[in-house]
Structure 1
Amino acid sequence: MQVSVETTSQIERQITVQVPAAEIDEAVSARLKDTAKNVRMNGFRQGRVPMAVVRQRYGHDVRNEIVGEVMRERYVRAITDEGLNPAGYPQIEARVNEPGKDLEFVASLEVYPEIELAPIEGTQVERPVVEIQDGDVEEMIETLRKQNAEWQEVDQAAQDGDQVTIDFQGYIDDEPFEGGSAEGHSLVLGSNSFIPGFEEQLIGAKPGEDKEITVTFPEDYQAEHLAGKAAIFKVKVHKVSTQQLPEVDEAFIQRFGVEDGDKEKFLVEIRKNMTREAAQAVDNRVKQQVLEALKKANPIPVPSSLVQQETDGMKRQAAQQFGLGEDFDVSQLPNELFEEQAKARVQVGLLLAEVIKTNEIDADDDAIKAKVQELAEQYQEPEQVVEYYMGNEQLKTQVKSAILEEKAVEKLLEQASVEDVNMSYQEALAAAQQQAEQDEETAEEGEQTSA
């Protein structure tokens, strides 16, 4: 077997393999002999069909089988001998495939990029410092009350925060437009779920009243045919309802897992959950800054096959989130919606893998169990959660990956300049969200620039 490897780009290789004709012809002859033993043909007993007839009838198909098997086997041998690390599956094509001639085929493949990590020294990282205040706890209780509130119909003018039940029809240039109408729609005033200016003009409306609302669609509105256009909505107000908040009593507290309804225990649990959530927000904000710095310092090429795999995974996740059902064909979702984020994820994954490898980072069963115990604290029966995770190899692998990522980020953080910044609970959550959005925008801008 003769093998030559051509480097066509940083991560693309083309392997040309030649296999002596004698090997192929001998393998074809041997397979035809085995085939002849079971051939049934009119005029001949089983196993007595002449080889010339067998070859004429089955020779082409058998040769294709043999060539396919040989190309797959020799491809694996070639990448092993040449020390190549494929990312995804190759494209294999036979160039010369004729009896009596050496078989020649070409395998085009992507390989994992060779990474020499550039440091992130000098990177400025802002690390929030959060202390949960009594006021934060009280605000969280109010949020829980609102989430569990009931709506009571009233015969009075709608106020900010009230819920109105309406019919509406939108018009542009006196013509109704698609998607601009609904009947019996419930809208909470002040929720900002409608076009800017719509909800404000319903404040003061009474049950049974007709309203005419004038708004202008934002310039960046998702429906391009409506963006920037002025519209009139004719609205019929059917009902006005006010929010009735539940009392923080024993029954309310029991809804959140405090079985005896004790308020002090309830406050302790809320503070504990908020502390955990704040810590996660801090870790996420720090991690996002570190990973963004890592990407900027290491603009590596990313194999398209890995990007496609990540894109497919994101499609399946999106289908689950939107409840599209297990039978939904995710190929209907356009790649363009996910590719940029998928590429960023793959890049980060490759770089973190190199950080883990370079620094010989690992996590044993004790570390995995400790992490699972930490995660299980938020459940009512943590012991069962720990037992379930530790008995499931797939879940253990997921936890181990998370630990390795955390340790890699900690290692990278040693290279950065960290500034502690005091933040409130709400500011920390908002900062982590804002950082995630900024990173996503940066990834999109980088993709557009490279394009």
Structure 2
Amino acid sequence: MPDPSEKDGELHFTAEVEVRPEIELPELSGLAVTVDAASVTDEDVAERLDALRERFGTLVGVDRPAKDGDFVVLDLKAEIDGDEIDSVSGVSYQIGSGTMLDGLDEALVGLSAGETTTFRSPLAGGEHEGKDSDITVTATQVKERDLPEADDDFAQLASEFDTLDELKDDLREQVKGIKTQNQVVAARDLLLEAILENLEVPVPQGVVEAEVHRHLESEGRLEDDAHRTEVTEETQKALRNQIVLDTLAEQLEVQVAQEELLEYLVQSSRQYGMDPNEFVQTIDQNGQIPAMVGEVARSKALAVALRRVEVKDSEGNVVDLSDLIGSDEADADAADADALADSAAASAVADAASEAASDAADETADKA
């Protein structure tokens, strides 16, 4: 270290930092993944049609014991060691939804309006969360969903189609689209698993420890060793995947187009319930744009990699996912469009600068 009183000299130091490990990915051409077939059955269409009918159905009271799928208006009271902990009244609950207490579905089946039963269950929330309590439940009403008849009249009511057959054809296309999208998701996950299968990826321990500490601190659970173990495993897995995808993106020379980044930012803003412009400004101010670009690049790297592996369905058919994962030609066109946009922007800036310089010169000449 130089003398602080002197104006010259050099400070020499050694810094030790953790870096992303160098890994060698397997040849993509040697990989293959198998996804479920996207064939659509009559049962798939019927299930979709029933779901649409339920949206237009009405609840009607019935004078019989409740069964799975029924809606029950109920009163609940929870006690621990004879002391009432909590109670609610007039709650509507569908049997089988599993959205309230463990054991509630079983307790309600066979219960008629006006009848009461008790069961034991751990509480799902509050200061006594997780503690076993005695639950008293009273069914005040039992209702079933009355569905409209599946006919041409219903098709006209629930859609833009005139006949039930036309509506069913549209529902069949919807189911096919959903199953095809599921094939893409499954193929991406399976491809990542195939890449990782025989690959040793050393994870920087310091990065893991820092992320685990940040996570536990945000939850106020720094002393929870069991939870620390769980979070550590999840963090190691996430970081390992990130390292592989970053390496894959570099090897495939993946470029993120402006339109792709914008689309990702808009989708992310919806997840946070924020205005897109406000969301973009926020992450820009926090210096998170590069991280967003990285996320898009990783996702795109898997899509590009899928174009280079064999994807088959469970029936042995080759699956064409190009409509959903794009093509190399489309990526090239997008890159060219971005280059043109950047060139146009640069040209506009140059023109503006030239015009300003010309005005300044004219102003100087006038003064002279």
Q: For the superposition of Structure 1 and Structure 2, which TM-score range results when normalised by the shorter chain? A: 0.5 to 0.7
1:234 equivalent to 2:139? Answer no
Number of the residue aligned with 2:176? 275
1:354 to 247, 252, 262: 247
> RCO greater where, 1 or 2, for CA within 8 Å and sep 6 or more?
2
Q: Which residues of structure 1 form unaligned runs of 5+?
A: 1-17, 27-99, 316-329, 373-392, 424-451
Q: Secondary structure at the match of 2:17?
A: strand
How far, CA to CA, are the matches of 2:210 and 2:172 in structure 1?
40
Does structure 1 residue 244 correspond to structure 2 residue 146? Answer: yes
Does the Cα contact within 8 Å between 1:356 and 1:408 map onto a contact in 2? no
- Output one character per residue of 1:204-243: Cα deviation in whole Å (capped at 9) or x when no partner: 323223x22234669xx999x88795x5422222222221
- String of CA shifts for 1:151-203, please: whole Å, max 9, x gaps: 23344432322111111223455454x5x643222221222335554323323
Alpha-carbon separation, structure 2, partners of 1:273 and 1:311: 42
Alignment equivalent of 2:19, drawn from 101, 105, 111: 111
Q: TM-score, normalised by structure 1?
A: 0.49
Question: Which residue in the other structure is 1:345 paired with?
Answer: 238
After superposition, the Cα gap between the structure-2 partners of 1:365 and 1:201, relative to the gap in structure 1 and judged at 3 Å, is closer
2:49 to 137, 141, 144: 141
Instruction: For residue 199 of structure 1, give the secondary structure of its aligned residue in structure 2.
Output: helix
State the alpha-carbon separation in 1 of the partners of residues 109 and 90 from structure 2. Answer: 18
Aligned match of 1:186 in 92, 111, 114?
92
Q: CA deviation at 1:298?
A: 2.6
Structure 1 segment 319-334 matched on structure 2, within 5 A: 331-332=218-219
Question: Within 5 A, what are the aligned runs for 1:161-172?
Answer: 161-172=69-80
**Is the partner of 1:115 in helix, strand or coil?**
coil
Name the SS for the 1:191 alignment partner. coil
Which amino acid is 1:150 matched to? T
Q: Aligned to 1:204, which of 110, 130, 133?
A: 110
Task: Flag the 1:402–1:227 CA change in 2: closer, same or farther, 3 A.
Answer: closer
1:344–1:129 CA distance, 2 compared to 1 (3 A): same
Report the secondary structure of 1:239's partner residue: strand
1:116 Cα offset (Å): 2.3
Task: Identify unmatched segments of 5+ residues in structure 2.
Answer: 223-227, 264-288, 317-368
CA distance in 1, matches of 2:234, 2:167: 40
Matches within 5 A, 1:215-226: 215=120
Which residue in the other structure is 1:295 paired with? 196
From 40, 47, 63, give the equivalent of 1:132: 40
Contact 2:19 2:204 (C-alpha < 8 Å) held by counterparts:
yes
* Deviation for aligned residue 1:137: 0.7
TM-score, normalised to structure 2, is 0.58
**Distance change in 2, residues 1:253/1:303 (3 Å):** farther
CA distance in 1, matches of 2:95, 2:160: 35
Judging changes above 3 Å, is the alpha-carbon distance between structure 1 residues 353 and 422 closer, same or farther for their aligned structure 2 residues?
same
Structure 1 position 114, deviation (Å): 1.8
Q: CA RMSD in A?
A: 4.8
Q: Percent identity?
A: 25
1:355 maps to a residue whose letter is L
Amino acid of the structure 1 residue aligned with 2:248: V
Are the counterparts in 2 of residues 249 and 261 from structure 1 also a CA contact under 8 Å? no
In 2, Cα distance between equivalents of 1:123 and 1:205: 55
| Structure 1 residues 174 and 353: CA distance shift in structure 2, 3 A | same
Structure showing greater Rg: 1
> Residue 265 and residue 351 in structure 1: after superposition, are their counterparts in 2 closer, same or farther (change >3 A)?
same
Please tell me the residue identity of whatever aligns with 1:345: A
Q: Distance in 2 between matches of 1:206 and 1:135?
A: 32
